[in-house]
Structure formats: C-alpha cells, structure tokens
Amino acid sequence: MPEPSTTPTHAPHGPLPTGGQVRPITRWGTPVMHRAQATVTEFDEALTRLAADMVATMYAADGVGLAACQIGEDVAMFVFDCPDDEGEHTVGVVCNPMITLPEGRERRLDAGEEGCLSFPGSFVECPRPDWAAVDGVGLDGNPVHFEGSGLLARCLQHETDHTLGTVFGDRLSTKARKRLQKQHDKAADDYPLDWPAQA
C-alpha cells in the first residue's frame, strides 16, 4: 500500500528487520498476486532475510505496507510501517495473518482513497471498515497482534488481502476499476518494471 512513512513510534513486537535488498515490485496480473499464499511453517534466517528485503522495498517505494507476493514470493507474510488516525506509527511483521473486523452496530465504513504498490500511480475510493485487528505470528514464530483505526486499519486489511490472493481492485465496482486503470496507465512511464529497485 502506498503512502510515505516517517519515523516509527510503536513497535510492540520489536523493530523491523534491516539490511535488506530493494527488489522490483510484482504487478497485478502476475499469478502469485492472485492466489492464496503458502502458510509460513519455518521461522529461520531465510524468512528474516525475506522480511528485510520487503522492508527495504517498502521504504524505497514510499509505502506503508508490503506483502511477500508483491516481490514475487509465495509466502503468507506482510510488513508495515503505518500511522493510525491519530498519526502514531506502528511497525510490524505478520506471518499467516487472520483479520478481525467490526460487525453489526460497531461496523462503520471509511470510504477513503486506496492505492497499491503493485498497481502504482493510481488511487480510488475503496470503502472498508474503519477499525481492524490482525493476529498472526512474528519472525520468531511467536504470536503477534496489531489493531488500529484510520489508515492503519486500511493497511492491515489491504495487506492481509494480499496473503489471500485478493487485490483491492477486486473490491471495486467496474466503473471505479476503470478509473483506477486509466490513472495507472497515465502514470506507467514513472514506474518501470524494475521499480523501485533501479532508484
């Protein structure tokens, strides 16, 4: 998910891994983007290196979240550094995420704009619940829990969707998706296929 991020202030399960390599971002239409990702069962150095590459790529692309499939890896994991509606940044790594959303009277939709680093240069309104919680496991295999409102809620939903093979365009009307495509095509020259690795 795109949006510039700043200094993180809240890391309940530790800091994000560092030292990764920036990789090209995989685009919509690539098969790995449209299928449920493989469950993480091995919590080893290779997983940590992958997460570090994801973090480096997310920051290079000015994103607030990135799933493993977005750098071509069939792994149910995402990383994020995202502010909530009060501007407080939360950072984290979630493997095998499970989303919890409000129901009944507690469910309120935020019709804010949304974009995706795998379909860069375009944003449209995409209604989503204004609060979300995600449970999963961290890089050490221990349970992690994140929750929040505002952009953080949108980010947790967006990135969990990626691990299930859903892109946010799947949630749009035909008309909204055409607007998104038009913006994307107009901005295509700014995002070559090796973006952001070439920066």
Tens of pLDDT, residues 95-136: 999 999 999 888 999 999 999 999 999 999 999 999 999 999
Residue 192 has pLDDT above 60, yes or no: yes
| Average pLDDT of span 162-189 | 97
Residue 7 has pLDDT above 70, yes or no: no
State yes or no: cis peptide before 196, omega within 30 of 0: yes
* Annotation marks residue 3 as catalytic: no
Residue 139 has pLDDT above 70, yes or no: yes
| Average pLDDT of span 169-195 | 97
The 10s digit of each residue's pLDDT in 147-160 is: 999 999 999 999 99
pLDDT, residue 4, reads 45
Q: Which residue has the higher pLDDT, 9 or 196?
A: 196
The CATH superfamily of 31-187 is: Peptide deformylase (3.90.45.10)
CA 178 distance to own-chain centroid: 22
Torsion of CA 70, 73, 78, 81, to 10 degrees: -50
For the chain, the domains span 31-187
pLDDT, residue 61, reads 97
- Tell me the C-alpha distance between 120 and 25, whole Å: 10
Question: Which position among 3, 73, 114, 159 bears the catalytic label?
Answer: 159
Per-residue confidence at 86, pLDDT binned at 50, 70, 90? confident
Kindly report the average pLDDT of the chain as a whole number. Answer: 94
- Tell me the C-alpha distance between 44 and 141, whole Å: 9
Residue 163 has pLDDT above 80, yes or no: yes
What residues contact 7, with CB distance under 8 A and at least 6 apart? 89
Residue 186 has pLDDT above 90, yes or no: yes
Burial 110-140 (b: 16+ CB within 10 A, else e): beeebbbbbbbbbbbebebbbbbebebbbbe
